[in-house]
Amino acid sequence: MSYNQSDQYGGYGGNPYGGEYSSANPYVSGNQGLGAPVPLDHQTSNYSQTSSYSQPGATPQNTLAAPPAMPAVMSNSDFLSRVDGVRKQIASLTSQVSAIAAAHQRAISSPDSAASSQVEQLVAETQALNTQIKDQIKFLETDAARSGGNATKDSQIRNLKTQFKNQLQEYRNEEEQYKKRYQEQIARQYRIVNPDATEEEVREAAEANWGDEGVFQTALKSNRSAAATSVLGAVRARHNDIQKIEQTMLQLNQLFEDLAEQVIVQEAAVAAAQDQTQHVVEDTENANVQLTKGVEHARRARKLKWWCFFIVLIIIAILAIVLGVVFGTKKS
C-alpha cells in the first residue's frame, strides 16, 4: 500500500496534515450511539504503559461506553448496537493509519523534529484506540460465549475480529515499510560522512545502535567536520524513529496474540457447552430406553396377571364340576 495514495482508506481520503489535523482527527466524533462515552484509563492499560510514545494528555476523545460489569446476557439488539460502535472505531483506526503514514513521510523528507513528534502523538493515540477496540471485542466475545451458541452473535464476533485483524495487519505493514525506509536513509547519510565505506560497513551502520555514544564517536573518527556531526546527528534521530517503530510492532504482535487467545477461550467455552449438551442428549436417550423397558415389563406383568386370573377361573370351574358330580352321585 502506498502512503502517497491516501484515498485508499475509503471515505477518509486526503492527507490529514498540513494544519488541519484537528479537523480530521477521528477522535472528536463524539457520541456513537452506545450511551454516554466513558474514557478508557489508558494510564493503566497493559499496552499504554510500555509504549515509548505515551504522552500526558494524549487520550483520544472518541470512546465507547465502558463495558458494563453485568452478569446478564445482552439482547441481540443491544449486542448489534455495540458491534456497530466498534465498527466505527475500526473505521477511525483506518484514518489513523493513513495519518501515521503521512507523518512518517514528512519525518523522512524533513529534518524538523516536529514531524517526528507528530508521529509520536499519532501512534500514542492509535495504540490507545487499538486497546479500546480489543477490550470491546473481548467484552462482546464473552457475552457471545455466555449466550450459549447464539448464531447471530457468533457470526458478528467473527466478522468483527476479521476486520480488526485486517486493519492491524495494514498498520503493521506500514510500520515495516517505513522502518526499511528509515534504514535506507541512515545508509545514505552514512555514505555522506564516509564515502569510502564498503557495502558491509554501510549495512552495519544501518543496523547499528546509534543511541550508543561509542558508535557515534567511532563514526566521526574519519570525518570530524561540522557537516559530518550534523549528518550523524540526523542518523541518530532516524535510529530513534526505528526503535519506536519496533516498539509499535511489539505492541501490534501482542494485540494479535490477545485476539487469538480470545478465540481459544471462546472455543473452549463452546466445546464445554457442546459436551454438556451431548451429555443431556445421552441421558435423555438412556431415560427413553429405560422407559421403554419399563413399559414392556408392565405389559408383560399385566398379561401374566390375566393368565393367572384365567387359570384360577378354570381351576374353580373344574372344582365346581367335580364337586357337583361327587355330591350328585352320593344323593343318588
Q: Is residue 168 one of the residues assigned to a domain?
A: yes
The tally of domains found in the chain comes to 1
Where do the H-state alpha helices sit in 110-225? 113-146, 151-193, 199-207, 213-220
Q: Tell me the pLDDT tens digit for each residue of 85-140.
A: 999 999 999 999 999 999 888 888 776 678 788 888 999 999 999 999 999 999 99
Evaluate whether residue 127 is within a structural domain: yes
171 found inside a domain: yes
How does DSSP classify residue 33? S
Model confidence, pTM: 0.52
Which domain, by its residues, includes 238? 6-266
Cell of 219: 563514526
pLDDT digits (tens, 9 = 90+) for 39-52: 444 444 443 444 44
Q: Which amino acid is at 120?
A: E
Q: Say which CATH number the domain at 170 has.
A: 1.20.58.70
pLDDT of 221 above 50? yes
Judge whether 68 lies within some domain.
yes
283 in any annotated domain: no
The answer to the question of residue 318 being in a domain is: no
Contact (Cβ atoms closer than 8 angstroms) between residue 234 and residue 216: no
User: For residue 93, with 0-12 CB atoms within 10 Å meaning exposed, 13-18 middle and 19 or more buried, which class applies?
Assistant: buried
Answer yes or no: is 259 within a domain.
yes
Neighbours of 322 (CB within 10 A): 10
Residue 289 forms part of a structural domain: no
